[in-house]
């Protein structure tokens, strides 16, 4: 069971290190700044005052690659430097435009079912779901009778979720347009507001420590998040290894574990595997898609020579792994149809489920 322990904050990294490939690290610094200031109470769906997230934009490729050593004593500072090198800030309009490609099925995905199982949310407990998207967690939690504040900075995503809520006649999920960086207190989000906070595949923030502590302050009992074990949701670690980029993968979840350890929090860690069946019209389209994966995952942390070598290996890899799609023309689950070609094996994304109790 997760809990607080200020005596050995580095042990969570040692546990994660054994469960992932050989990665080394040192103890996290326990001298971090104080927790977030207490926000004033305001009215919301639970009686408080109610005031008035596979992809994102493509990262810029730096001339000088960032080299994350995972041996720092200030994990949040290294995270912030990595994010600055890796990607541009998320743009709500981008996610608005993509919202129509996201499914709003009332049946939870295998990923969502496993997340909810691991979250261990008790009957009648209230939930704050940050980065809710189209309601992958919020809709099934609402169907189960939970009161949920479902927050996202994309109006398009919230509108799609509202369609699903109307379809299922769920009236206990309360959409809220909110970003990670906003003043949450001004939106009526206050410390201790709910029993459980969730952030599923949504913490792509510049300041990870701030995001983790915001969630910790809002929850009365438990916080549950997921982060990738690689560099991004677009990244298949097996393909990257085949292309000679295994060392370029940066396990995002280790930053969260070590930041929490510096705060005296030892979280529970589990893993959720998610498969993606990509399809393509032409070999050229497949190559371009995987080149974007290379750039997104490794562009900030490897040099031009290593990246160009991966591009060369990619063509041979596709010759062996791009096959006719026997399901071409069938629905693809994202509002379109499957295309003529597919990868021999589904892409696999591994998510680290990280939870801690108050």
Q: What pLDDT, on a 0 to 100 scale, did the predictor assign at position 255?
A: 95
Measured in degrees and rounded to the nearest 5, phi and psi for residue 64 equal -100, 110
Residue-wise pLDDT tens digits, 238-284: 899 999 988 777 788 999 999 999 999 999 999 999 888 899 999 99
Query: Does the pLDDT value for residue 183 go beyond 60?
Result: yes
pLDDT band (50, 70, 90) for residue 105: low
Q: Which pLDDT does position 164 carry in this prediction? A: 92
pLDDT tens for 298-325 read 766 778 888 899 999 999 999 999 999 9
pLDDT given for residue 309 in this prediction: 93
The owner of tokens 């810029």 is 60
- Summarised one tens digit per residue, pLDDT across range 126-157 is 999 999 999 999 999 999 999 999 999 999 99
Q: How confident is the model at residue 338 (pLDDT cuts 50, 70, 90)?
A: very high
Percentages of the chain per state (helix, strand, coil), in multiples of 5: 35, 20, 45
Quick count: other Cβ atoms within 10 Å of Cβ 256? 27
| CA distances from residue 306 to 5, 113, 218 in whole angstroms, order as listed | 42, 39, 44
What pLDDT sits at residue 202? 94
Average per-residue pLDDT for the chain: 82
Q: At what angle do helices 11-19 and 252-262 cross, to 10 degrees?
A: 160
pLDDT tens digit sequence for 35-79: 545 444 445 555 555 444 443 445 555 556 776 666 677 999 999
pLDDT digits (tens, 9 = 90+) for 167-181: 999 999 999 999 999
- CA-based torsion, 233, 11, 27, 2: positive or negative: positive
Confidence of residue 84 (pLDDT cuts 50, 70, 90): confident
> Quick one: pLDDT at residue 233?
73
């Amino acid at each position: 069971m997760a809990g607080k322990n200020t005596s050995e904050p580095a042990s969570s990294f040692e546990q994660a290190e054994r469960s992932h490939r050989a990665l080394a690290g040192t103890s996290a610094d326990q001298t971090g700044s104080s927790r977030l200031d207490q926000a004033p109470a305001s009215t919301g769906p639970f009686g408080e005052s109610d005031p008035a997230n596979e992809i994102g934009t493509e990262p810029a490729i730096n001339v000088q690659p960032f080299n994350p050593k995972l041996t720092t004593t200030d994990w949040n500072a290294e995270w912030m430097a990595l994010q600055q090198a890796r990607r541009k800030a998320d743009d709500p309009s981008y996610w608005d435009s993509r919202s129509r490609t996201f499914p709003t099925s009332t049946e939870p995905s295998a990923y969502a079912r496993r997340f909810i199982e691991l979250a261990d949310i008790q009957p009648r407990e209230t939930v704050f779901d940050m980065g809710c998207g189209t309601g992958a967690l919020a809709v099934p939690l609402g169907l189960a009778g939970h009161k949920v504040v479902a927050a996202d900075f994309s109006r398009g995503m919230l509108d799609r979720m509202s369609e699903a809520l109307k379809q299922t006649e769920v009236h206990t999920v309360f959409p809220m347009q909110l970003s990670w960086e906003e003043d949450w207190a001004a939106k009526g989000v206050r410390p201790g507001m709910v029993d459980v906070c969730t952030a599923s595949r949504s913490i792509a923030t510049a300041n990870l420590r701030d995001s983790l502590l915001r969630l910790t302050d809002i929850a009365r009992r438990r916080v549950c998040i997921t982060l990738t074990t690689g560099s991004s949701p677009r990244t298949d670690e097996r393909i990257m290894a085949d292309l000679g980029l295994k060392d370029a993968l940066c396990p995002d979840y280790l930053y969260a574990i070590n930041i929490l350890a510096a705060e005296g929090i030892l979280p529970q860690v589990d893993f959720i595997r998610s498969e993606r069946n990509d399809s393509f019209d032409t070999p050229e389209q497949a190559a371009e898609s995987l080149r974007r994966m290379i750039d997104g995952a490794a562009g900030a942390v490897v040099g031009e020579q290593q990246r160009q070598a991966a591009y060369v290996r990619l063509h041979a890899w596709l010759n062996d792994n791009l096959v006719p799609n026997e399901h071409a023309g069938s629905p693809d689950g994202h509002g379109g149809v499957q295309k003529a070609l597919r990868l021999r094996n589904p892409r696999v994304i591994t998510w680290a489920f990280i939870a801690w109790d108050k």
